Amino acid sequence: MQKVLRCTDNLNPNAWRKIYKTCLFDNIYFPKGKIYEDLATIPLLIDRVDKVAFCDRVDYFYTIRNNSITNSKLNASSMQIFGIIDDLQTHFKDRKDIIKALNYHAILVIIGFVLRFDTIDDDIFATLKRVLKSKALSVLIDTKVEIRHRVIAFVMVAFGIKTYKFLRRCYRLIK
């Protein structure tokens, strides 16, 4: 499960590329009307199994539209991901390893948002800062977290998200 939430060893909380037995879906459903429904569902399914099988063939294609998630701006709906992470932490409250992995996943999401979007609305920015502060300590002391992500989390907490964005831009100019 940690590998899924940490997105390692070709595992990730996305539904595609995995092969499922239908009996796994007893009382587990993809939530309707929410984005990031894979993250809300796949960890629950993977927790029920001893093995995960993959299909090497890629038969999954996105339809890219102007209003698709991949083309959308960072908005209030995007923040649903942190509610899903909190729900999973409640579900797995007795599993410290999974809680740590979920904290790491939240930090990876924040890093992704910060790198992907040039402008971030003040309310969204406040949410990112709040989540960062609540999850960062767990990530900073977790030796299983990649060092670069620990450094990024440290810089964002110690000096701010905007400083990290500025330093990242400077680094890319120098590089």
Q: What angle do CA 34, 103, 78 make, to 5 degrees?
A: 30
pLDDT bin (cut points 50, 70, 90) of residue 49 is confident
Alpha helices in the chain (DSSP H): 2-5, 37-46, 80-91, 96-116, 122-140, 147-159, 161-174
pLDDT bin (cut points 50, 70, 90) of residue 52 is confident
Q: What is the mean pLDDT of residues 13-37?
A: 85
pLDDT at 70 over 90: no
* Spatial distance between the Cα atoms of 89 and 97, rounded to a whole number of angstroms: 11
Q: How far is CA 23 from CA 28, 63, 136, 169, in A?
A: 10, 29, 37, 48
Q: What is the mean pLDDT of residues 47-69?
A: 74
User: Minimum mean pLDDT among 8-22, 91-105, 116-130: which range?
Assistant: 8-22
| pLDDT score for 34 | 84
